[in-house]
Amino acid sequence: MQLSFLVSLHWGLSALIEAAVFVLAIRRGLFERLPIFTAYLLLLLVNEATTAAVYATTGITSHASFVTAWTLQGLLVSLRAVVIYEICRSLLSAHQGVWRLCRPILIGVAVVLGVTAGTVAGRNVHFLEQFILTAERGLELVVLGILLFGLIFCRYYGVRIERHLAWIALGLGLYSAIQVANNTMLQHWLQYFPLWNDLRNFSFNIAVVMWIIAIWRPLPTKHASMVLSGDKYGELAPQVTARLRELNSRLLEIWK
């Protein structure tokens, strides 16, 4: 069984957009700021090229295609989880006390997702497929939760979010929202509805376009995202509210 012309065309356009955002990321020096996210963009291209080659060689329904597709999907899901950790670190690493509180929570959530996926998949004959599906569903839900919490936190404490981080997070959040909706209730009623299927298929392309917007302009100077010492922290009073400084100071005292 071979891919239809429309599917092949969509695949080719997707690969072209992903290549564009990766090249732009390299030109903007994004690897120095977000190395994991840049590696994720590269893996997207590797996924497209490898999957297309295997499908063309062995057919879309072959065992080799099945293993290749799900293995690469597992790598993408795992790397996307690390991307969320990287974005949170970029937002909060300047506030060391806050970051020390959030870091173990993020790691704990990742461990719980892995154990849950392994437990659920262990009951299924197709272990690899079920493990990745369960992990992906949990991850998309966690991404939404983290982004909503992060938005509320930054809004409450007046934390400034750099433009490129905001657009990258919005792209991840949009894709996760579509996937969560599909993986919960909508799949029971709209799985055969063409418009919903198209929206689900193109949601990732929209996210990639948002990432292009994120790095279309030159990135801000690197010193703005450096980890701050206690003395330097007070110099950023216009950007950091008194409540956040107080929270950060108390958390630093707790970690001592």
Burial 71-80 (b: 16+ CB within 10 A, else e): ebbbebbbbb
pTM for this entry? 0.77
What is the maximal distance between C-alpha atoms in the chain?
A: 65
pLDDT computed for residue 215 by the predictor: 94
**Residue 140 near residue 176 (C-beta atoms within 8 A):** yes
**Residue 15 near residue 25 (C-beta atoms within 8 A):** no
Least confident piece of the model among 39-48, 69-78, 129-138, 240-249 = 240-249
DSSP secondary structure letters along 13-52: HHHHHHHHHHHHHHHTTHHHH-HHHHHHHHHHHHHHHHHH
Domain ranges for the chain: 5-255
Taking only the tens place, the pLDDT of each residue in 129-144 is 667 777 777 777 778 7
Taking only the tens place, the pLDDT of each residue in 147-195 is 777 777 777 766 778 889 989 999 998 888 887 777 665 555 544 455 5
251: tokens are 């958390």
Q: Which residue has the tokens 């998309």?
A: 140
pLDDT computed for residue 253 by the predictor: 57
Q: What percent of the chain has pLDDT over 70?
A: 62
